[in-house]
């Protein structure tokens, strides 16, 4: 498979994510507002954008009427270098709130209790992924690289391959099926898509067609073992794979058709910004096969940590019955490499930021405001995975056990509003409000409040000044893909050498040696860590910070992007001959 672009042609990179760096909203007067998006995905990709060249495709957060699109598109292109995928608001609601954030997000973060499965939302997830596939397929050229981001788009690799290579087969079939399901006539397909009729799923995904490779036998055999509630097979079945070069694999067929269309050799990569859970949790998902098959059409799949990659591979073995290698999987004649690519930030944004005049002034003002007080900072999207209630309860324990610190330490907790249409996020908001009220009521005075709680998005300069001010940063996520707030705090502490208190359940805990690692469920251990952080010697703080800063400066967003793209460039759809990542 010669994936190289035609002679003289530039090899282009197309990045696709649900969230763009800017989110559009419309007010009651019909005026559009463009606002910087928040979250680790946007921070890291924006960091990459400073040196890497790519076209960024994504959902702008709002359906825009036809007549306004030209104007909006131009602004997106000119000011943000982005290209939109428009989704009807109802479809976006079901895709984003209904499936991505009510099914995949809780499940991937070990919160199956928060998972609300609804067949219509699953169909919307598929349809939204199909819309993305159509837009990307319209842009992609032979030899391009497409880098798909995160859990919102896990079917996109498969759908994109179908659209660019087999319009007459899988692409059309998926489209027809979606059309039927939308009209609500094909109950069997809906059942199949929910995982209740597994044979239907295999057909719908185009993997059970007559005469396809022998790996399908395994898929069907596993499917016959029972409904989704049955345990996955403990021992993987031996997969009879077609040898490369014997007959034509699905992969080769796709490439042959794509070649005719002038779209061959397109490499597809996928990066998951969340954890990938243990197969014991993952297998709860009613559409567990479809999601795995969706990403297995990639050449390269990346995760933040080795554990997440291992969980993914073992899910492929247990759920699809596929035989995996330490660094990848062969499926339908395609070799998909699986690797670890820890994400990072652009640390210089903060290192330089704290020297900027505006931020220096703001920092001085904040220092005067909190004179005589130590400051602990917390910065989280208000999400149940961030463990904000546990953080507040730990502070309460600390203050009750160390009354000498009452009046001498404050927690500044920035809670960035997030996914407010999802019920669990509304419940969390009420719970946090109550805890803040209770703790401030218990330890506060007219002059002093132990918790300064802001439920709003703050400008980046204000955030940088807050990071620079704080004597410690407290991250208590109960699960977190990486957690870039910890990286940003460390980068803003060139002068202060503040202490990083970090949950062992954040991906960052595996890299940030020099932090105080806590189990957020063990409230006492976090309370103890707060005490340790506040009483640590300057020498110990400096020595820890130096280790942390060395890591954050080396493993940047740019290093992450470059290493992933280099690896994707190197791959050709066949197993590497030598050792890989
Ligand atoms: P998550 O991706 O789950 O939100 P991370 O800690 O990895 O968690 O990333 C959060 C990111 O959001 C950080 O880069 C942080 O700077 C950014 N952020 C926080 N507040 C804002 C804001 N008001 N506007 C834009 N980005 C923000
Ligand atoms: C996490 C996800 C990202 C997402 C971000 C913000 O980092 O992995 O994909 O963009 O949270 O969430 P939002 O729902 O606002 O996009």
> Tens digit of pLDDT per residue, the chain (581 long)?
344 444 555 679 999 999 999 999 989 998 999 999 999 999 999 999 988 999 999 999 999 999 999 999 999 999 999 999 999 999 999 999 999 999 999 999 999 887 889 999 999 999 999 999 999 999 999 999 999 999 999 999 999 999 998 654 455 555 555 554 444 433 433 334 443 333 333 333 333 333 333 222 223 233 333 333 333 333 344 444 344 344 667 777 777 777 777 778 899 999 999 999 999 999 999 999 999 999 999 999 999 999 999 999 999 999 999 999 989 999 988 899 999 999 999 999 999 999 999 999 999 999 999 999 999 999 999 999 999 999 999 999 999 999 999 999 999 999 999 999 999 999 999 999 999 999 999 999 999 999 999 999 999 999 999 999 999 999 999 999 999 999 999 999 999 999 999 999 999 999 999 999 999 999 999 999 999 999 999 999 999 999 999 999 999 999 999 999 999 999 865 555 544 33
CA atoms lying within 13 Å on the CB side of residue 461: 9
Nearest CA to ligand 2 atom 6: 39
Q: Which residues surround ligand 2 with Cβ inside 6 Å?
A: 19, 39-41, 150, 273-274, 418-419
Beta-strand ranges (E) seen in 421-496 are: 451-454, 472-475
Three-class DSSP category at 493? coil
Both tokens of 544, joined, read: 């820890």
Ligand 1 lined by 374 (C-beta under 6 Å): no
Beta bridge partners of residue 414, listed in sequence order: 379, 454
Ligand 1 lined by 457 (C-beta under 6 Å): yes
Q: Do the beta carbons of residue 76 and residue 60 sit within 8 Å? A: yes
Residue whose tokens read 């825009």: 64
CB neighbour class for 463 (10 Å; exposed up to 12, middle 13-18, buried from 19):
buried
- Ligand 2 pocket test: which of 16, 60, 273 has the largest number of ligand atoms within 8 Å of its C-beta? 273
Q: How many residues does the chain have?
A: 581
Ligand 1 lined by 365 (C-beta under 6 Å): no
Distance 20 CA to ligand 2 centre (A): 10
Nearest CA to ligand 2 atom 14: 419
Ligand 1 lined by 43 (C-beta under 6 Å): yes
- Angle 317-159-300 (CA atoms, 0-180°, nearest 5)? 50
- Using CA atoms, how far residue 173 sits from 130, 176, 264, in Å, is 12, 5, 21
Q: 448: Cβ–Cβ under 8 A, 6 or more apart, which residues?
A: 407, 410
Ligand 1 lined by 39 (C-beta under 6 Å): yes
> What kind and span of H or E run contains 203?
helix 198-204
Report the predicted TM-score, pTM, of the whole model to 2 decimal places. 0.87
Q: Do the beta carbons of residue 61 and residue 33 sit within 8 Å? A: no
Ligand 2: nearest atom to the Cα of 419: 14
Nearest CA to ligand 1 atom 27: 38
- Ligand 1 pocket test: which of 43, 419, 460 has the largest number of ligand atoms within 8 Å of its C-beta? 43
56-93 as b/e: b if 16+ CB within 10 A: bbbbbbbebeeeeeeebbeebeeebebbbbbbeeebbe
- Ligand 2 pocket test: which of 16, 40, 109 has the largest number of ligand atoms within 8 Å of its C-beta? 40
What pLDDT sits at residue 256? 78
DSSP state of 38: -
Ligand 1 lined by 294 (C-beta under 6 Å): no
Ligand 1 lined by 485 (C-beta under 6 Å): yes
What pLDDT sits at residue 574? 56
Helix (H) and strand (E) counts in the chain: 23, 17
CA atoms lying within 13 Å on the CB side of residue 58: 29
Beta bridge partners of residue 380, listed in sequence order: 415
Three-class DSSP category at 317? helix
Q: Do the beta carbons of residue 232 and residue 279 sit within 8 Å? A: yes
Q: 277: Cβ–Cβ under 8 A, 6 or more apart, which residues?
A: 107, 108, 109, 110, 311
d(CA 456, CA 417): 6
- Ligand 1 pocket test: which of 353, 381, 454 has the largest number of ligand atoms within 8 Å of its C-beta? 381
CA atoms lying within 13 Å on the CB side of residue 330: 17
Of the listed ligands, the closest to the CA of 386 is 1
Q: Do the beta carbons of residue 324 and residue 294 sit within 8 Å? A: no
- Using CA atoms, how far residue 102 sits from 95, 173, 343, 483, 514, in Å, is 10, 28, 25, 21, 35
Ligand 2: nearest atom to the Cα of 100: 14
Distance 385 CA to ligand 1 centre (A): 14
Distance 136 CA to ligand 2 centre (A): 21
Ligand 1 lined by 575 (C-beta under 6 Å): no
């Amino acid at each position: 498979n010669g994936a190289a672009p035609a002679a003289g042609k530039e090899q282009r990179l197309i990045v696709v994510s649900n969230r763009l760096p800017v989110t559009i909203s419309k007010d009651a007067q019909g005026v559009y507002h463009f606002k910087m998006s928040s979250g680790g995905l946007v921070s890291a990709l924006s960091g990459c954008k400073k040196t890497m060249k790519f076209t960024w495709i994504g959902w702008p957060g709002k359906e825009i009427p036809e007549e306004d699109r030209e104007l909006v598109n131009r602004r997106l292109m000119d000011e943000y270098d982005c290209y939109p995928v428009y989704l009807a608001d109802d479809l976006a609601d079901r895709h984003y709130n209904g499936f991505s954030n009510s099914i995949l997000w809780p499940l991937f973060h070990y919160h199956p209790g928060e998972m609300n499965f609804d067949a219509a939302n699953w169909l919307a997830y598929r349809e939204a992924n199909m819309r993305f596939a159509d837009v990307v397929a319209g842009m992609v050229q032979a030899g391009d690289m497409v880098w798909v981001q995160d859990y919102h788009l896990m079917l996109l690799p498969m759908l994109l391959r179908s659209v660019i290579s087999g319009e007459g087969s899988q692409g059309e079939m998926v489209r027809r099926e979606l059309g039927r399901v939308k009209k609500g006539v094909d109950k069997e397909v809906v059942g199949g898509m929910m995982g209740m009729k597994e044979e239907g799923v295999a057909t719908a995904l185009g993997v059970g067609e007559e005469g396809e490779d022998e790996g399908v036998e395994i898929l069907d055999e596993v499917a016959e073992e029972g409904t989704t509630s049955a345990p996955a097979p403990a021992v993987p079945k031996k997969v009879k794979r077609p040898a490369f070069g014997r007959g034509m694999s699905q992969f080769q067929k796709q490439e042959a058709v794509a070649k005719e269309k002038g779209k061959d050799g397109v490499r597809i990569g996928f990066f998951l910004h969340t954890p990938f859970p243990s197969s014991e949790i993952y297998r709860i998902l009613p559409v567990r096969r479809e999601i795995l098959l969706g990403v297995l059409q990639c050449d390269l799949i990346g995760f933040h940590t080795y554990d997440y990659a291992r969980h993914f591979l073992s899910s492929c073995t247990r759920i699809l019955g596929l035989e995996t290698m330490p660094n990848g999987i062969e499926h339908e004649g395609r070799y998909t490499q699986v690797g670890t690519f820890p994400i990072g930030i652009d640390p210089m944004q903060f290192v330089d930021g704290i020297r900027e005049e505006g931020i220096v002034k703001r920092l001085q003002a904040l220092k005067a405001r909190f004179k005589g007080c130590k400051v602990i900072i917390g910065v989280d999207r208000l999400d149940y995975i961030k463990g904000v209630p546990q953080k507040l309860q730990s502070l309460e324990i600390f203050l009750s056990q160390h009354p000498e610190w009452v009046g001498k330490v404050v927690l500044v907790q920035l809670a960035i509003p997030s996914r407010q249409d999802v019920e669990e996020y509304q419940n969390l908001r009420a719970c946090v409000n109550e805890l803040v009220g209770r703790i401030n009521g218990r330890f506060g005075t007219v002059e002093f409040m132990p918790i300064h709680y802001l439920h709003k998005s703050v400008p980046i300069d204000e955030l940088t000044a807050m990071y620079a001010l704080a004597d410690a940063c407290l991250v208590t996520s109960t699960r977190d893909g990486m957690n870039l707030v910890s990286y940003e705090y460390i980068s803003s502490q060139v002068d202060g050498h503040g202490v990083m208190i970090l949950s062992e359940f954040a991906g960052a805990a595996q890299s940030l040696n020099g932090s105080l690692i806590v189990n957020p469920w063990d409230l006492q251990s976090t309370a103890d860590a707060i005490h340790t952080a506040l009483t640590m010697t300057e020498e110990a703080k400096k020595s820890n910070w130096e280790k942390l800063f060395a890591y954050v400066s080396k493993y940047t967003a740019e290093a992450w992007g470059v290493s992933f793209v280099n690896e994707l460039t190197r791959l050709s759809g066949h197993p590497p001959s030598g050792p890989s990542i």
